[in-house]
A = this chain, B = another copy of it.
């Protein structure tokens, strides 16, 4: 069989090839916890009330092609990004100026800020902060250039609940396993080869970050045993992703507990010097002293249906435990920060990253983002957005976290025309990233979807720092490739989860 070119990747499989690949993929995934709890549309909760069923997590059958230079760019720049966001999180005055622009449009950000101010009244008692970050990128090929070169452009930077670190390590191992057992046709052997497949160390590396914070907390002040607290949503379909971190943490000797965010006030309390005490409901006579709070919940307004949920966040933030992330670090991840950093000619990155060389490498990964206010950049943006010819290069996004849908390209001018100008500042204008259109096949809920996909590279970073400025730990912590069906004419990605994937490096 002749070998396939990149344009023909992945190859068509014969029924026998597909059967072999799939049966191995389905068994390996369950045998190694590359799994999710099934969606209610797949298995009704009444069928499995105690929740013993699981299914293969949505995964790609093949590792997606990814330019090696872009992959190395993303991993190579992560420590600089960790440093940048640690610096932002330490700069309360700067963050305040950002938040002040949002309080009118974003209740959630306002409430987070207010919680910070509450804590500040009495003063923070923990000067260490932990970030388990994930910087998400797409490969961008500028279509207007005659010889388009490619580079990474940032989609967003996550400072809270960066997910899929557990599953990502497993999917990269899965694709390597499938290669080892010859599940990929020989015709692909010049592309899918051992040296091209990158294992992600994300699960162990993120767990190592939690362990580092746990250790940096120091000895117990109460005499109680120490633990890390995973603050989680309940129910959580993506529980195995988190569990892999817990198990890796336990292997390094660190106990952790899962606490549904909504039950925080029932099972935690602050003692007189604000040490956080967690009382396991199964063993109330053995309270634990919490060294580190790892938020896998609390990042969305939906996590705060009751007033008490804000009391809970306040209690956790007031505590002596190291927060992953603190509220200021959480706020550093809001879209507005990304916009301000990425506004053309912005001075901010250089403010936080004094080394010009480092700053310029970070700046290279920004796609231009404009406010739609009456600043100079805003006035420029209004021109770009209302002109049908220039608008085709942009996407309009609401500033509010998790709020509303994006408006793409030629739909922007008519959208703005219908919108009162006073509401325009609630949006930002971002240059479209033009990722290469690839092909792949995704297994999801037992069904295979084949076709065009776009890939998003997430690079994890661990950073532990002190308010005073000392960076205690800083490392790049593996990667995630997330792949979604390319279903929108507008270039937007399909809603929902997509699939976990791994990189097959080319070039």
Inter-chain CA distance A280–B23, complex, in Å, is 14
- Is A7 in the interface zone, CB < 8 Å from B? no
- Is A21 in the interface zone, CB < 8 Å from B? yes
For A290, list chain B residues within 8 Å (CB).
Answer: none
Cβ proximity bits A10-26 to B, threshold 8 Å, 1 near / 0 not: 00001011011111001
- Is A216 in the interface zone, CB < 8 Å from B? no
- The minimal Cβ–Cβ distance linking A225 to chain B, given in whole angstroms, is 10
Inter-chain CA distance A258–B33, complex, in Å, is 21
Q: From A445, which residue of chain B is reached at the shortest CB distance?
A: B52
Inter-chain CA distance A19–B30, complex, in Å, is 23
Inter-chain CA distance A285–B17, complex, in Å, is 12
- Interface size band for A: 35 or more
Interface residue stretch chosen among A53-61, A138-146, A323-331, A399-407: A53-61
- Is A183 in the interface zone, CB < 8 Å from B? yes
Check B183–A31 contact: CB distance below 8 A: no
For A443, list chain B residues within 8 Å (CB).
Answer: 52
Check A283–B186 contact: CB distance below 8 A: yes
Check A240–B30 contact: CB distance below 8 A: yes
Q: From A185, which residue of chain B is reached at the shortest CB distance?
A: B283
- Is A103 in the interface zone, CB < 8 Å from B? no
Contacting B at CB under 8 A, from A429-455, are: 443, 445-448
Contacting B at CB under 8 A, from A260-298, are: 280-283, 285-286
Inter-chain CA distance A21–B181, complex, in Å, is 37
- Is A27 in the interface zone, CB < 8 Å from B? yes
For A43, list chain B residues within 8 Å (CB).
Answer: 43, 47, 53
- The minimal Cβ–Cβ distance linking A445 to chain B, given in whole angstroms, is 7
Inter-chain CA distance A439–B48, complex, in Å, is 26
Check B51–A446 contact: CB distance below 8 A: yes
Inter-chain CA distance A448–B43, complex, in Å, is 20
Interface residue stretch chosen among A109-117, A242-250, A478-486: A242-250
For A185, list chain B residues within 8 Å (CB).
Answer: 283
User: Secondary structure of the A side of the interface?
Assistant: mixed
Check A53–B33 contact: CB distance below 8 A: no
- The minimal Cβ–Cβ distance linking A407 to chain B, given in whole angstroms, is 36
- The minimal Cβ–Cβ distance linking A53 to chain B, given in whole angstroms, is 5
- From known contacts A30-B30, A35-B30, infer whether A286 and B52 are also in contact, taking CB-CB under 8 Å: no
- Is A182 in the interface zone, CB < 8 Å from B? yes
- Is A350 in the interface zone, CB < 8 Å from B? no
Check A27–B240 contact: CB distance below 8 A: yes
Inter-chain CA distance A23–B259, complex, in Å, is 12
Check B31–A240 contact: CB distance below 8 A: yes
Inter-chain CA distance A19–B32, complex, in Å, is 24
Inter-chain CA distance A177–B48, complex, in Å, is 25
- Is A252 in the interface zone, CB < 8 Å from B? no
Check B19–A282 contact: CB distance below 8 A: yes
- Is A50 in the interface zone, CB < 8 Å from B? yes
Check B243–A282 contact: CB distance below 8 A: no
For A31, list chain B residues within 8 Å (CB).
Answer: 33, 35, 240, 243-244, 247
- The minimal Cβ–Cβ distance linking A87 to chain B, given in whole angstroms, is 37
- The minimal Cβ–Cβ distance linking A192 to chain B, given in whole angstroms, is 14
- From known contacts A21-B282, A283-B182, infer whether A243 and B27 are also in contact, taking CB-CB under 8 Å: yes
Check B250–A181 contact: CB distance below 8 A: yes
For A180, list chain B residues within 8 Å (CB).
Answer: 250
Check A54–B30 contact: CB distance below 8 A: yes
Inter-chain CA distance A28–B177, complex, in Å, is 22
Check B244–A183 contact: CB distance below 8 A: no
Q: From A244, which residue of chain B is reached at the shortest CB distance?
A: B31
Q: From A447, which residue of chain B is reached at the shortest CB distance?
A: B50
Q: From A236, which residue of chain B is reached at the shortest CB distance?
A: B27
Inter-chain CA distance A26–B51, complex, in Å, is 8
Check A26–B55 contact: CB distance below 8 A: no
For A239, list chain B residues within 8 Å (CB).
Answer: 27
Check A20–B181 contact: CB distance below 8 A: no
Interface residues, chain A, with chain B CB atoms under 8 Å away: 1, 14, 16-17, 19-23, 26-28, 30-33, 35, 38, 42-43, 47-56, 177, 180-183, 185-186, 239-240, 243-244, 247, 250, 255, 258, 280-283, 285-286, 443, 445-448
